[in-house]
Amino acid sequence: MPPSNDMSNQAPPYSSYGYPSMQPAYRQGPASHTDSSPSQDLYSQSNYQQYSQPFPNLSQLSAALGGLSGVPELEVESLRPVNLLQERTLLPPRPLEAPEPNLTPDLKKVNCSPHVTSVTGSMMVRAQSLTTVDLLISLFNTAFCSLSVLFILTVSIAFRLQIITTLLFLSYLVPDEFMYNPVSRSYGEPHRRPEVQNSTVEFIASSDYMLRPPQPAAYLFVLDVSHNAVEAGYLKYFCESLLENLDRLPGDTRTRVGFLTFDSTIHFYNLQEGLSQPQMLVVSDIDDVFIPSHDSLMVNLKESKELVQDLLNSLPAMFSQTRETHSALGPALQAAFKLMSPTGGRVTVFQTQLPTLGAGLLQSREDPNQRSSTKHLGPATDFYKKLALDCSGQQIGVDLFLLSSQYADLSSLACISKYSAGSIFYYPSFHYIHNPAQLEKFQKDLERYLSRKIGFEAVMRIRCTKGLSIHTFHGNFFVRSTDLLSLANVNPDSAFAVQMSIEDSLADSSLACFQAALLYTSSKGKRRIRVHTLCLPVVNQLSDVYAGADVQAITCLLANMAIDRSISSSLSDARDALINAVVDFVNSYKSNVSSLQQSGLVCPSAMRLFPLYIHALLKQKALRTGTSTRLDERVFAMCEFKTQPLQQLMRMVHPDLYRLDNMSDQGALHLNDTVVPQPHLLHLSAERLSRDGAFLMDCGNVFYLWIGKCCSDMFIRDVLGIPNYASIPPNMFILYCPKKACLLFVFLFFCRDDGSAKATFFQQLVEDRSESSSSYYEFLQHIEQQMSK
Amino acid sequence: MEAAVFILSLVDCCALIFLSVYFIITLSDLECDYINARACCSKLNKWVIPEMIGQCLSTMLMLVSMHWFIFLLNLPVAAWNIYRYAKVPMGNMGVFDPTEIHNRGQLKSHMKEAMIKLGYHLLCFFIYLYSMILALIND
């Protein structure tokens, strides 16, 4: 049968689902430099003058650049050299999107969307030996994020995951069962089956995939009730929130809950159905913790609901007069572990101070006079790590809410969540009266946390094409073996990253494929496997790799590596390594790809934002020096880098800045009869701000709206409902809920020109110099100096 | 007297060879997925201190019996063992940490280290054997 690209009717042979013919082309998503404001044109004009042609003829340009393979249809926009020292406008008009790999339309449809998986480059080079530079290849994955459409399948063959990978490699051997397509209920056309047509598919796992019957959802809440905790006042708000959300806890009729409170002793609560009120059992021997009575400390939620509600209502009052100042967190965690071992599940720990009693007690390591010191970034003891590994082995995930106002050694405490696949939430200076912003954030985070989807007893396996191997992992999980990650709990808000290297040449494939498979138990007790697949074309030339690079993924990967380096050696080493990364990149571009002898800093258009992002990264709380940063905040910022999804991270590093008061309808989106204007992105520099404007800065989980002194009163009235500039209260904020359910609630702070949020706003303007760090231009000059060494 | 020293060193060296082989086998079990990281690391961490003691014993013996060349041969490895043990950060569960062993190619570097030590101990074994025979003959 002659091969044809028409994929309809009778069982066409596999050869018709052909490989894309080798086109080493690449496309960068958004068009760049379509700014129409005159001042920016001036700069880009001068840059073009340099090359003395506005690129009307692609083959002319390709000849000028030299060294590119002679494919006439080359989209050279991504490779256009950009002289960073001269071009002032680098940002695209709309937020950057990941570059799309150039595959056939069918394969492109099947590829994972960037918000699920993104890769540092949309091309894979064929062999490490072809490159004289070190290639960083890495994959970011939010394995469990909410998807609008998800196909769920039952396949009874074993090794079905191997089949998917093989299908991508065009195997001719197709089992009979694959000839039936359950979605369209027709036979034939195995390439139309959902798992081949969609990048993310969920399978129902058979009993081969279960070591034990699927566990029920089990939630244990471990609450600090020392004097400090009562001062901070979180308990009342936690109880209120849990009472409201008790029905929204993911689970079914088998859901279990339990409560543990601790100060210098540990208190258990007997919630057996039939008791008239909850019974408190106190264990004061914290050196050898034992569980008083096994059965009714974790109870079925449905059966004991009234008792649970009684307990939550009375808990805040029970401890309001406490004088206990010690906190025995270690023994409480040991007790929690013992309690949850039979089933597994989720433990939520609320802590408000340094643990001072019992196993796992910590000393204060931060010297308040040395706030800019960068030592003590690693844990002080291995107690929490060991406990986390024990918990991970019993499928218990521990989430930590740290609500302390003083140093609480987060670097040691964080271990309990890091290796048991938990999440960490930190509220510095939490106080229910003095810090209403933190209180609101806590309440909203708690609401999201209690009701979000969860998966239990999960493992994740990441496979890639032969020739690639994974050598480093970033994220909260335990690596059980070379490609198997053990995740006690999975939730939609955390992301993982892996770094790969090319071991052997990818000589005989024109596609490199990656597959992440997550085996988990849903909260309703169903065992599922969710599979994400991504494939990339393999190219032979280094220039093609440059053209397909995803600068945001690269920045976040380098951030992860810098954090690892700062913990294992020192922060200044990590910062130097980041600067060297930029220098190496520019050097290698100059020597390998660009044949133009240019002075100045030239890099390909696809990567023009790379030095800017690295410069912004060096000013982040996690990696900055010179400015006083509390140790806990620094450690928390590092933990965020390891677990937040890519888009969140990028907005944290380089926020999006828009001007609001002069938006036009040019280029606006038309959605459902409303016109949504699309303002352009601005560079993060005070020179772009103006007194008579209002500017919105999107930092991911916080928005800032800065209003200049001379901003028009009409704008202030219409948008804020306040008569004029002078009546804006100095510390105003509102809580804004974006439509997308994935995100946490965001804060919108209004900054007057002289308010306190102003300082934070201005700190985010990364291109400007501050007392302790250089401006972007100075950074570029420093890079140029390093290059010529 | 000489012979006694060398016999003791020989026995010590044998023990160190067996230990290196044990390390290599356990690490390759981990690579091939026969055991998990926690089991592997706890097994290996148990034998880190005995290995250090064995190596230092051998070095001290050579120092005391004034065989300078062999002493200098043993010294780097002893120093390396002590350095490796002392450099472990406070939050790690020993020289072999199950949470870090799969990261940054640590598994490969540990394997390489164990192989080098095996080769080195074999070399030392033959040196001691030869010296012992020499000492026995001269007695």
DSSP assignment, residue A679? P
Contact between chains at A389 and B31 (C-beta distance less than 8 A): no
User: Structural domain tally of chain B?
Assistant: 1
ipTM, 2 dp: 0.91
More confident residue, A473 or A167: A473
pLDDT confidence of residue A747? 64
pLDDT > 70 in chain A, percent: 72
Confidence of residue A50 (pLDDT cuts 50, 70, 90): very low
Q: Are A553 and A138 in contact (CB under 8 A)?
A: yes
Mean pLDDT of A271-284: 89
For residue A401, what pLDDT is reported?
Answer: 96
> H helices of chain B, where?
2-31, 37-46, 48-64, 68-86, 106-138
Closest by CA position to A55, among listed A614, A605, A620 = A605
pLDDT at A20 over 60: no
Residues A672-701 pLDDT 10s:
777 777 888 888 888 888 888 888 888 877
In order of their start, the domains of chain A are 117-211+455-540 (2.60.40.1670), 218-366+378-451 (3.40.50.410), 655-763 (3.40.20.10)
- pLDDT over threshold 90, residue A258: yes
Q: Is B34 at the interface with chain A, CB within 8 A?
A: no
Cβ-nearest to A473 among B38, B92, B103: B103
* A477 close to B (CB below 8 A): no
- Whole-structure pTM value: 0.82
The reply to whether B109 touches chain A by the CB within 8 Å rule is no
Tens of pLDDT, residue by residue over A106-131, are: 555 556 555 555 666 555 555 444 44
At residue A5, the pLDDT reads: 36
pLDDT at site A193: 55
The alpha-carbon gap from B96 to the nearest alpha carbon of chain A, in Å, equals 13
Give the pLDDT band (50/70/90) at residue A395. very high
CA distance B110 to chain A (A): 14
- Give the pLDDT confidence of B7-64 residue by residue, as tens digits: 999 999 999 999 999 999 999 999 998 988 899 999 999 999 999 999 999 999 999 9
Phi first, then psi, for residue B133 (nearest 5°) are -65, -45
| Chain A CB within 8 Å of residue B89 CB | yes
Looking at chain B, how many residues does it have?
139
Q: Rounded mean pLDDT of B69-75? A: 91
**Mutation target vs B (from A365, A381, A383, A389; most B CBs, 10 A cutoff):** A389
Region A373-384: what's the mean pLDDT? Answer: 86
Asked if A763 has any chain B CB less than 8 Å from its own CB, the reply is no
Q: How far is B49 from chain A (nearest CA, A)?
A: 18
Residues of B in contact with A484 (CB under 8 A): 33
Contact status of B42 with chain A (Cβ, < 8 Å): no
Residues of A in contact with B109 (CB under 8 A): none
Mean pLDDT, rounded, for A297-325? 92
State how far the alpha carbon of A368 is from the alpha carbons of A378, A439, A630, B39, B90, in Å: 18, 25, 8, 41, 22
**pLDDT greater than 90 at residue A397:** yes
Q: What is the pLDDT of residue A129?
A: 46
What is the rounded CA–CA span in Å between residue A380 and residue A368? 18
Task: Please give the share of chain A, as a percent, with pLDDT higher than 90.
Answer: 31
Contact between A386 and B93 using a beta-carbon 8 Å cutoff: yes
pLDDT at B104: 81
Question: Mean pLDDT throughout A1-26?
Answer: 34
- Could you give phi then psi for residue A676, rounded to 5 degrees? -105, 105
Range of the domain at B93: 1-138
Answer whether B104 touches A (CB < 8 Å).
yes
Q: Which residue of A has its CA nearest to B37?
A: A480
To the nearest whole Å, the CA of B63 is away from the closest chain A CA by 35
pLDDT tens, position by position, A699-747: 877 788 888 778 788 887 887 777 777 777 766 666 655 544 444 455 6
Smallest CA–CA distance, residue A411 to chain B, in Å, is 9
Taking the C-alpha atoms of residue A345 and residue A343, their distance in angstroms, rounded to an integer, is 7
What pLDDT digit, counting tens, does each position of A338-347 carry? 999 999 999 9
pLDDT of A259 > 60? The answer is yes
**pLDDT for res A519:** 92
How far is B86 from B88, CA to CA, in rounded Å? 6
Q: Is the pLDDT of residue A58 over 70?
A: no
